[in-house]
Amino acid sequence: MNTNSSNMMALAPNTSKKRETVCIFGTGDFGRALGHKMIQCGYHVVYGSRSTQISNLIPKDAEVLSHAEAAQKAAIIIIAIQRQHYNFLTPLAEILHGKVVVDISNNLKLNQYPESNAEYLAQLLPGARVVKAFNTVSAWALQSGALDASRQVFVCGDDTEAKEMVMNIVRALGLTPLDQGSLLAAQEIENYPLQLFPMWKFPIFLSLGLTAFFFFYCLALDVIYTYIYEHNNFSFFIAMTIPNRICPVVALILLGLVYLPGVLAAIIQLYRGTKYRRFPDWLDKWMLCRKQLGLIALAFASLHAVFTLASPLRSFVKWRNAKPIISQALNNKTEPLDTTNAWLSDSYLALGIIGFFFFVLVGITSLPSVSNSVNWREFRFVQSKLGYLTLILCTAHTLVYGGKWFLSPSAYKWYLPNIYMLSLVVPCAVLVVKFVLIFPCVDKPLTRIRQGWERNPKSSEQSNYIINKSAV
Amino acid sequence: MNTNSSNMMALAPNTSKKRETVCIFGTGDFGRALGHKMIQCGYHVVYGSRSTQISNLIPKDAEVLSHAEAAQKAAIIIIAIQRQHYNFLTPLAEILHGKVVVDISNNLKLNQYPESNAEYLAQLLPGARVVKAFNTVSAWALQSGALDASRQVFVCGDDTEAKEMVMNIVRALGLTPLDQGSLLAAQEIENYPLQLFPMWKFPIFLSLGLTAFFFFYCLALDVIYTYIYEHNNFSFFIAMTIPNRICPVVALILLGLVYLPGVLAAIIQLYRGTKYRRFPDWLDKWMLCRKQLGLIALAFASLHAVFTLASPLRSFVKWRNAKPIISQALNNKTEPLDTTNAWLSDSYLALGIIGFFFFVLVGITSLPSVSNSVNWREFRFVQSKLGYLTLILCTAHTLVYGGKWFLSPSAYKWYLPNIYMLSLVVPCAVLVVKFVLIFPCVDKPLTRIRQGWERNPKSSEQSNYIINKSAV
Amino acid sequence: MNTNSSNMMALAPNTSKKRETVCIFGTGDFGRALGHKMIQCGYHVVYGSRSTQISNLIPKDAEVLSHAEAAQKAAIIIIAIQRQHYNFLTPLAEILHGKVVVDISNNLKLNQYPESNAEYLAQLLPGARVVKAFNTVSAWALQSGALDASRQVFVCGDDTEAKEMVMNIVRALGLTPLDQGSLLAAQEIENYPLQLFPMWKFPIFLSLGLTAFFFFYCLALDVIYTYIYEHNNFSFFIAMTIPNRICPVVALILLGLVYLPGVLAAIIQLYRGTKYRRFPDWLDKWMLCRKQLGLIALAFASLHAVFTLASPLRSFVKWRNAKPIISQALNNKTEPLDTTNAWLSDSYLALGIIGFFFFVLVGITSLPSVSNSVNWREFRFVQSKLGYLTLILCTAHTLVYGGKWFLSPSAYKWYLPNIYMLSLVVPCAVLVVKFVLIFPCVDKPLTRIRQGWERNPKSSEQSNYIINKSAV
């Protein structure tokens, strides 16, 4: 077991000041970048290559040997070649026996192969201790000192000690290793760098769908209806008026959808009388993307705020505001202040501003660095208490803003309700059900269920331990 | 010492690919969630339970044994039971001798017991190596993959090696261990998850108190006075006008209070002629909550900004702006531009905007991830230099805005000053004293004192090493 | 080798519950603060001092001995004295042989000495294992519990094991060690705490320069020209009008300069036919400060947004808006809505708002904690795709805003173009070249070059491995 003793160099005391030797198979772009960085950090690097002729692209201080010779010199072998060439490693199985073999490969698309590259490598080399690592780092990130993108390196493997050795190298290169468990996690780690905001996909498509629907709804009611029946060409509403109608509506609906799954989960738990049964799949997925839904709602709310604040700059608004002033001047009279109107306009503005303020507060605590520095109780307080306060204020803002139109027949063009009425459906439903749920006669059994009590203990026959607890 | 050798599995080389065995006493919610996660991460888990009858809630791959049998199988025993049942552990003291015993309990309220649960456990089991850990993690956080809340696990204990073993488990579970020192820290760690923004309490109550005071002050002067003497019903001022008066006033006072303790500390140090004497307690506490005070001031300033920008949308403001236009039209004349007025209005707007801009900059550097990526000199530069610049700009904004009212008798309704004058007291005092402090004849001795020089070295008789250095 | 065995205390199993002994040379401010913190964390601290007379400033539980005696008691010696006194250590070279000697010193200015303090120490004590650490932590940060500034401790040294021992102490004190490689890195580590936003210097000076230039340009055209030829005193434009002209212009130019180096790099790579040759130095530096340029552009854009939104509050704008209304009233007619104008004004507002929205989004992903939680593909998507979208929207905003002035002779006062035309030069150039670069006939060879293909492989004769890859 000579190998083992040299393996432990990084941990065990030794007199040499040099770090251990690492072998890299493959002299491609990433293999060279990694080798270069390792040499900088004090490792001795040996490249295993088909041709041992030294290319001037390979770092100066590295050795280049045949694969077999290079592998014998090191306890850790990094495989910087593509999966389709892995089968050339089979003749080296003997030499690689007991060695730490690091798979750093990436695929071109998600789930390209039935098994992960690292598992495939482990099958080819049954005696080797395969570790998956480094695939999330780009050659550019390794090279450039000003490392803006992620420093996280996901590591997984079945051998704890081999994993520890690789994680020491990761740390030495100035990166942060994250242990992801056994080699089964390799599939997920290989998919990671190919992902493009997977948690955001559903919320973004949902909000784009809502936006498109309300755009055509508004276009029909505000532009086409006006053009047909009033012969006014308000096509320029497309630029500012309609976006500023869509944004608050989508924001309010999305905010309602953030709190709807929590309410549904409570109803399901109350109905079932236990928390030990898995929620329907759609509800689980919905719950996991609440943060993203909320942040998109915040984005729409911010756009609404800026659109509204910018409206006095619009030439249409200036023209509309001038009309009553000119007519007062022409009629030679000054209208007194309408106090009711002043109350209404000030109230919905104030409700909107304060609602938006709390919304931004909740959004700030979603920043990773902020949510990491609060404890669980504080996080729940902000996300749940302040979140509901935001929902209440924003719903009230909408109600006060448009209350006068509810009973006015002119608001029902083509017998369709104004979109702001549609926007109230989800948030009002959530608030009503939540209001019922906080009554003691409903809250008490729910709390007991969430603490583990079961109405019919026999009925819960789940095969595995599952906890279903809503974070709201 | 069989125990020791198995203890070191995680660190020492070994041929087995499985992590070590961990024993969990107690099969409650948290015990099951922890066991489940550990099995996922490759540990072998043995539950110690009163009844060894296997419940279907317990993770499938775990063993369930009696407490004594389970404890003998592992070097680390996690106590997932409540403090009031700890005394059942006394008969097991013999078996637990030399073992690492992990206390994960939480209390229901702050400082519930005279000693921490972990210290109590250490008294019950004198031979065991007690470590406090995992109490800050919720069962939900362990279970859910999308871990938004804190990943930090505070660890403390008197035995370094035992602590290191527990921290290795924490890392393996994908969490971040933070060593908090000896078991004396357990009290604080047990209080941590019960806290609800403890550093924020005083600043929030202070700002709420100021808000309430100024609300009634404004209500009296702007609504009630106007109603009594001018017979105008301006009750709708409550919604927008009064909040937009309170917000800037509270923001400016709080911003002044951020820089006041630094100035007081300098005066105290100059007076005493040494930095080696502890500041009064209230000053120490005040200094520690300056960041929170500043952030609340920023929140009020932001509200002020949005309230002001939204004011052209108010129907009252539209009515008020229309009046002079109509009267000009009726009188058949066009007033020329009042350049002085244009200068004044543009100046206070520009000062306010630039002051707010720097305020937001300082606020952004308070984000944990940003303040972690700057060095000490940069942090001080932003917090102190840019902070004072903000204070100067915001004070100037207020002075220019209301300068004309100082000498106008109509501003002193009921012989009370306008609230904007009250808001200037603290920031002006701070700026004047700070201005004196940067004179070389004052700055030089202060700098020498802060570098360790003492005017009367004999007089400093503190029993312990204390450094009092203001961060301003 | 007695030393070695005691060195390993932190890692190796031992029965004592106390951490190892650490020796500190020097009883100055920082030495005392560090010792105090170490005692808190369970270390035994021995001070080495010229006079062993115990001062009451030294922590109570620490021993104070002569330098030689103190050094013999510990395996780690922390040198808390200034560089100019290092030569007194030479007589102790024998005793310090094989010990871990930690250099924590800082200099007063950048690159004060030809070699770093740590390297100088290593020369004085050839047998000692010198490690650089702790110089980035302030005494105040060690002392205060509420640690807001950076917790990062940069560590470097030639001896891996010695470095690991020091990093364990760093971790035990609740700080985060960052291994920076060999002792060659000491110079950089010693310069770090003296730096004041080094990456920001060029972008800030550039933007200040642009601001100054455009200020005088505007002053001449808007104030002086108007005063001379139209006899209007518009000096108050200095407060709001001119800043709100400068801000968008500087923001747009800086945003163009963020994307210009990427475009230049592509042209250079296409021309050379290889990526394996180093870019000119100025281009490399420019590329490294793109993030800072972009954030300053965002700051100017935000100022522009707030200045614009605040403009209806200006008394000049109120006066200007009232004029046409009064003249309409006096002429007894109501002008109909000018639809073209409504379209134009709404379009540029909408383009500006949406452009600013995406700009803020890109800015948020520059926060360290956000950019750490996205993968490389997502980071590139946001910074490149969304960044270009921002540039296109902001350029379109400017074009639509001022399109009507291009052909109007009155816009060319003194034959000089309006500054908004100057602002379009850089962004339009970038967009045109980028548009050409995405044509397949240009994009294909570029992609192949970036994947490592070379047009004339012989021509690349670089001596060392260099990767030049633009992140755009």
pLDDT, residue A327, reads: 86
At which residue do the structure tokens 């331990």 appear? A465
Say what the pLDDT of residue B419 is: 85
pLDDT by residue, tens only, chain A of 472 residues: 333 333 333 333 333 346 789 999 988 888 888 888 888 777 899 998 887 666 667 777 888 888 888 999 899 999 998 888 888 888 888 889 989 999 998 888 888 888 889 999 999 998 899 999 988 887 766 766 545 556 778 888 888 788 888 988 887 787 778 777 778 888 888 888 888 888 899 999 999 999 999 999 999 888 888 888 888 888 888 999 999 999 999 999 999 999 999 999 999 988 988 877 778 889 988 988 899 999 999 999 999 999 999 999 998 999 988 888 888 888 887 788 888 888 999 999 999 999 999 999 999 988 888 887 788 888 888 888 999 999 999 999 999 988 777 777 777 777 788 888 889 999 999 999 999 998 988 888 888 887 777 777 654 444 333 444 333 3
Q: In what order do the strands lie in the sheet with A63-65?
A: A63-65, A44-48, A21-25, A76-79, A100-103, A129-132, A152-157, A176-179
Query: Do residues C235 and C218 lie in contact, with contact meaning Cβ atoms separated by under 8 Å?
Result: no
Domain locations along chain B:
19-194, 201-458
- Specify the DSSP class assigned to residue A40: H
φ and ψ at B58, to 5 degrees?
-75, 140
- List the beta bridge partners of residue B176: B152
**Contact predicate B132/B177, CB 8 Å:** no
C18 pLDDT tier (thresholds 50, 70, 90):
low
Kind plus residue range of the DSSP H or E element containing C263 = helix C241-272
For residue B5, what is the nearest residue in chain C, using CA coordinates? C13
User: Using CA atoms, how far apart are residues B322 and A326, in angstroms rounded to an integer?
Assistant: 10
CB-closest option in B13, B139, B315 to A341: B315
Residue/partner pairs of C258-261 with CB below 8 Å, 24 or more apart: C258/C290, C258/C293, C258/C294, C258/C297, C258/C387, C259/C387, C259/C388, C259/C391, C259/C430, C259/C434, C259/C472, C260/C426, C260/C429, C260/C430, C261/C286, C261/C287, C261/C290, C261/C470
CA distance C13 to chain B (A): 6
B140-144: average pLDDT: 68
Q: What's the CA gap between C228 and C234, in Å, rounded? A: 11
* Dmax (CA) of chain A: 105
pLDDT at residue B259, rounded to an integer? 94
Rounded Cα gap, residues C301 and A421, in angstroms: 35
Identify the pLDDT of residue C266. Answer: 92
Write down the pLDDT at residue C55: 67
**Residue in chain C nearest B317 by alpha carbon:** C313
CA distance A350 to chain B (A): 6
Q: How far off is chain A from B25, nearest CA to CA, in Å? A: 17
For residue C260, name the pLDDT band (cuts at 50, 70, 90). Answer: very high
Cα A358 to Cα A297, A365, A391, C449: the distances in Å are 13, 11, 9, 50
Nearest to C346 among A36, A146, A239 (CB): A239
Q: C407 or C84: whose pLDDT is higher? A: C84
Residues of B within 8 A of A168 (CB-CB) are none
Mean pLDDT estimate for chain B = 83
Which residues, including other chains, have CB under 8 Å from residue A239's CB and lie 6 or more apart?
C343, C346, C347, C349, C350
Chain B adjacent subunits, 3+ CB pairs under 8 A: A, C
Distances in Å between the Cα of B285 and the Cα atoms of A200, C141, C454 are 43, 16, 65
Q: Give the nearest chain C residue to A316 (CA atoms).
A: C342
With an 8 Å Cβ cutoff, are B314 and A342 in contact?
yes
Q: Look at B375 and C36 and tell me if their CB atoms are within 8 Å.
A: no
Distance between C36 CA and the closest CA of chain B, angstroms: 8
C-alpha to C-alpha distances, A320 to A233, A349, C381, nearest whole angstrom: 15, 20, 42
Task: Specify the pLDDT at position B135.
Answer: 87
Q: Which of C275, C376, C380, C472 to mutate to test the interface with A (most CBs of A within 10 A)?
A: C376
Q: Which residues of B are less than 8 Å from A161 in CB distance?
A: 13-14
Across the interface, whether the CB atoms of A196 and C378 are under 8 A apart is answered yes
Instruction: Give C305's contacts in chain A (Cβ within 8 Å).
Output: 306
Q: Write down the pTM of the prediction.
A: 0.86
Report the residue count for chain A.
472
Q: Which residue among A309, A350, A467 places its CB closest to the CB of B243?
A: A350
Query: Residue A325: which of C325, C343, C471 has the nearest Cβ?
Result: C325
**Residue B192 and residue A375: Cβ atoms within 8 Å?**
yes
CA distances from C239 to B163, B340, B392, C248 (A): 62, 12, 17, 15
Instruction: Using the predicted structure, report yes or no on whether residue C389 has a pLDDT greater than 50.
Output: yes
Instruction: Locate the chain B residue with the closest alpha carbon to A129.
Output: B17
User: Residue C258: is its pLDDT beyond 90?
Assistant: yes
d(CA C11, CA A164): 15
- Say yes or no for a CB contact (<8 Å) between C149 and B374: yes
pLDDT of residue C148: 52
With tokens 């400093």, the residue in question is B460
Strand partners, C77: C23, C101
Nearest CB among B182, B347, B451 relative to C42 is that of B182
CB contact under 8 A, B367 and A370: yes
**With left for phi above 0 and alpha for psi between -120 and 50, is residue C156 left, alpha or beta?**
beta
Distance from CA of A385 to the nearest CA of B (A): 13
Give the residue among C461, C471, C472 at the shortest CA–CA distance from C278. C461
A24: which strand partners? A47, A78
Is the pLDDT at B397 greater than 90? The verdict is yes
CA distance B384 to B265: 15
Of all residues in chain B, the one with the smallest CA distance to A291 is: B148
Cβ-defined contact of A330 to C329 (cutoff 8 Å): yes
Domain range B201-458, CATH architecture: Up-down Bundle (1.20)
> Rounded to 5 degrees, what are φ and ψ at B440?
-50, -40
| Dihedrals phi, psi of B174, to nearest 5 degrees | 85, 15
* Cα A369 to Cα C367: distance, rounded to the nearest angstrom: 9
Looking only at the bridges linking them, the beta strands covering C63-65 and C44-48 are parallel
CA distance to partner chain C, nearest, from residue A321 (Å) = 10
Minimal CA separation from A372 to chain B, in Å: 4
Alpha carbon of A310: minimum distance to chain C alpha carbons (Å): 6
Cβ C96 vs Cβ C127: under 8 Å: yes
Contact B464, B293 (CB under 8 A): no
User: In chain C, what residues touch A149 (CB-CB under 8 Å)?
Assistant: 371, 374-376, 379-380
Tens-place pLDDT, residues B187-210: 888 888 888 888 899 999 999 999
**Min distance B204 CA to chain A CA atoms (Å):** 14
How many CB pairs lie under 8 A apart between chains B and C?
183
Distance (Å, rounded) from C-alpha B192 to C-alpha B135? 9
User: From CA C187, how far away is CA A457, in angstroms rounded?
Assistant: 67
Instruction: Report DSSP state, residue B137.
Output: S
* Amino acid letter, residue A114: P
Question: Which DSSP helix (H) or strand (E) runs through A448?
Answer: helix A440-450
Residues 6+ apart with CB under 8 A from B369: A367, A368, A369, C367, C368, C369, C370, C372
Contact residues on chain C for B464, CB-CB shorter than 8 A: 59-60
**In A, which residues are within 8 Å of C469 by CB distance?**
139-140, 143
Fold of B19-194: Rossmann fold (3.40.50)
Give a three-class secondary structure readout of B170-210. Answer: HHHCCCEEEECCCHHHHHHHHHHHHCCCHHHHHHHHHHHHH
Instruction: Write the residue in A158, A325, A377 that is nearest to B17 by C-beta.
Output: A158
**Which of B8, B14, B53, B56 to mutate to probe the A interface, most A CBs <10 Å?**
B56
The answer to whether the Cβ–Cβ distance between C316 and B342 falls below 8 Å is: yes
Q: Which residue of B has its CA nearest to C300?
A: B357
Task: Output the average pLDDT for chain C.
Answer: 83
Q: Select from C163, C159, C192 the least CA-distant residue to C179.
A: C163
B44-48 β-sheet, strand order: B63-65, B44-48, B21-25, B76-79, B100-103, B129-132, B152-157, B176-179
Cβ within 8 Å, pair A240-C346: yes
Neighbours of chain C (3+ CB pairs under 8 A): A, B
Look at strands C21-25 and B176-179 and give their pairing. Answer: unpaired
Q: How far apart are CA B145 and CA B139, in angstroms?
A: 12
